[in-house]
Amino acid sequence: NMLLGNLSSLAELSTEGKSGAFFYYTSDGQFLLKTVSPREKKLLKRMLPDYYAHISQNSGTSLVCRFFGLHGLRLKHANELTGGQSNARHSKIYFVVMGNMFNANVEMHRRFDLKGSWIGRSTEGFDQPGFDRSVALK
């Protein structure tokens, strides 16, 4: 459906990430699309050779998220679409297509949201009775 240009099968997650990234998932929950900054795009491209080697060598056992694509869309600003001017400014949005790690037939007892910072990253009470196991621990 998406390959034919129909984006109606995408659903936006109710909140954006702390980084300002937007998350979308396919209707079957199998894939996740996440917007990335130009800086993140450069980092992902630098990591690609090592990432590819790891996934190739550990294809059946690696728990690392699968990346299926890094894409960019060039958009014309809506307020500049006047008369087909050739000098209209463009902006580019980058996004990655990833496999949804949580779309699995495996019972999950805990879910962690790993970040690169210690600031503001703690969760209390996760070992208490009645704790909602679907909550991502930080």
Number of domains the chain is built from = 1
Closest to 95 in 3D by CA, of 50, 41, 36:
36
Residue 123, domain member (yes or no): no
Predicted pLDDT of residue 14 = 46
Question: Quick one: average pLDDT of 59-65?
Answer: 85
Q: How confident is the model at residue 138 (pLDDT cuts 50, 70, 90)?
A: very low
Structure tokens that stand for 18 in this block: 């702390």
Range of the domain at 64: 2-107
Full-model pTM:
0.61
Residue 77, domain member (yes or no): yes
Residue 122, domain member (yes or no): no
Predicted pLDDT of residue 44 = 94
pLDDT tens figures, 17-33:
566 788 888 888 888 89
Question: Quick one: average pLDDT of 1-22?
Answer: 55
DSSP symbol at 2: G
In angstroms, the Cα distances linking 4 to 7, 9, 31, 97, 116 are 9, 11, 16, 16, 37
The residue with greater pLDDT, 108 or 24, is 24
Residue 60, domain member (yes or no): yes
Question: Quick one: average pLDDT of 45-65?
Answer: 91
Averaged pLDDT score across all residues of the chain = 73
In our burial notation (b when 16+ CB lie closer than 10 A, e otherwise), range 44-81 reads eeeeeeeeeeeeeeeeeeeeeeebeeeeeeeeeeeeee
Cβ count within 10 A of residue 25: 20
Residue 135, domain member (yes or no): no
Residue 18, domain member (yes or no): yes
Task: Identify the CATH number of the domain in which residue 40 sits.
Answer: 3.30.800.10
Rounded Cα–Cα distance for residues 74 and 22 (Å) = 17
Residue 125, domain member (yes or no): no
Residue 102, domain member (yes or no): yes
